[in-house]
Structures are given as C-alpha cells and as structure tokens.
Amino acid sequence: IPPVGTYTAYVDARYNDNPDDDNLGGYEPMDNVVLRSYDEIVNNGWNCIKDYKEDRFGNPTTGVIIATNAIWYAGWYTGDYEDVFQWKTGAVGFHVYSGSASDIRATTSQSWVAGMLDKGITGTSGAVAEPYTTGYIMPDIFFNRFLSPQKRFNFAEACYSACHSERSERIPWDCFVVP
C-alpha cells in the first residue's frame, strides 16, 4: 500500500449522501455499502472524493471529469466502464454491477472489470451473472480490512472476508477476484 496522502480515492454512490437513509427502497443497502466505503477510506487517512448523484464520474455535474491519481474506487450500478480513471500502480477498485465482469476476454468489452484491467488497475472483482446485492464483495468491508493498519489484511484476505461476512452468508459462485 502506498503512503497515505499520495493518491486519491473515488467513491460513486447512486442516490444519497446519508448512509442511514431508509427511503431508497431495494437499492438502499448497496448505496449504503458504497457510502460506508467512503468512511472507511477517509477514516484510514486517505483523500477521497465522493459523488452521490445519479450521474457518473466523467459527467460535468459530478465535478470530476478525470479521476487523477486514482488508488481506491468503490461505485455501482452502471453497465459500461467509465474511462475517466488514471489508475496508479497498486490501485484497487470495485464496481458493483451484475455484468461487471462479462466478456472480459473480448477485445471490445465495455465491462467494468475489463476496462479497469485494460487501463491499469491492479486488483478488482466482478460478477459474471446476477449475484444480487448480497453476492458481491462488499467494498466497505474490504477497505476496512485492507487499509486499516491494525488489521493488515492482504488483498486476498480482505476480498475473502468481504464476500463471506455478516452481510453475505455465502461465497458467490458468480463473482471472481483479479489480483
């Protein structure tokens, strides 16, 4: 892990700036997971830019046209990779979307996993089928384990604990990790 303060983290929730809001219906749990990722990253000393509007990074309304010096990322719910990140060596990111790892071997793939790997991210995870919201690696748990100097989980340990946790009773068959 590079020194704190060297690079920037990006968190892109979908609806709301309040992780305790109960008015988001079925999307509330995952929006809250993404928002808690921001808290975990910031609580471990990292600079983090958070967007909680429906627009994605790269759209002028988010204020982030190019995500420079990107080291950590958590976001969700758009199908095609947003090519706005300048990934630094060692970068880790998760985009929660049902097809985030579809077609990763196709040279024309627009999936998040394929796009992130093609553009230089070091570690990620994605879904090849619909795992529902309990079947993903939970980015907030991952960043809690991975960035905490007291816990010191490596990438594989943090991924395992974040997919088999108190919120997810199973290790999903439809998701995989790319270290």
What integer pLDDT is reported at residue 140 of this predicted model?
95
pTM exceeding 0.85: yes
Q: Where are the beta strands (DSSP E) in 120-172?
A: 123-127
| Amino acid occupying residue 154 | N
C-alpha torsion 127→128→134→138, nearest 10: -10
Mean pLDDT of the chain: 84
4-38: pLDDT as tens digits:
878 999 999 877 655 555 665 667 778 888 999 99
128-152: pLDDT as tens digits:
887 777 778 889 999 999 999 999 9
76-100: pLDDT as tens digits:
877 788 899 999 999 999 998 888 8
